Homo-oligomer: A and B are copies of this chain.
Amino acid sequence: MSSNPTPDRALHPAAEPFAFMLGTWAGSGEGSYPTIDGFSYLEEVTFGHVGKPFFAYTQKTRHAETGAPLHAESGYWRFLTGDGVTGSGIELVMVHPTGVAELLSGAFIAEHGGGTFELSCPNVATTASAVLVERTTRQFHFDGDTLSYDVAMAAVGQPLTHHLSATLSRRG
C-alpha cells in the first residue's frame, strides 16, 4: 500500500470543487491566548484524497527558532452532497495529540481564486487527561497559492478568544 496521500485516482464529484486545496502548504504563524505567552511557529499542512468525498488532512508545527516539534493535528474534511439525508455543507473532524477531538461543521463561501471555509465546533470532545477545551471556530481562506487561517477557542475557563493565525504557501 502506498503512503502517497494523493494517488493517481479520479476525484470524487463532491470533492471536485475543492481540488485547489490538494497538496502541501507551508509557512508560519503566530499564537496567543490570555493564559500563555505569545509564540511563533513554522507549519506544514497536507490535503490528500483517495477518490472518496473527503480529503485526509495533516498538520504539524515546529518552533520558529529551534525547529522542535510543537503541535500536530490529523483528520478528514467531509464534503456533504445535499442528498436529503446528510444535508449539505462541510464537516472537518480532527484529533490532536493532546487528547482533543474537534468535530467542526459549517459552510464554504466560494470566491475568485478559492474561497473561505467558516467552521465551528460547539462541543469539543476531550479525554480524561486533556486540558479542557470547550468550543472552537476556524476560518480557512484559500486564494490561489496562499492559505491563511484563524482559530479561536474557549478553553480553561476563557470565553471564545483568538488563538492562532498563519499564512501558508503552496509547496506541491
For A86, give the chain B residue with the smallest CB separation. Answer: B129
For the complex formed, measure the closest distance between the CB of A52 and the CB atoms of chain B, giving whole angstroms: 7
Min Cβ gap A119→B in Å is: 11
- CA of A87 to CA of B87 in the docked complex: distance in angstroms? 40
Chain B's nearest CB lies how many Å from the CB of A164? 17
Copies in the assembly, this chain = 2
A100–B26 CA distance with the chains assembled, in angstroms: 28
- Cα A95 to Cα B58 in complex, Å, equals 12
CB-nearest residue of chain B to A77: B97
Q: Is the CB of A95 within 8 A of B105?
A: no
8 nearest A-B residue pairs (beta carbon): A86-B129, A76-B97, A101-B101, A50-B69, A1-B44, A74-B74, A93-B95, A54-B97
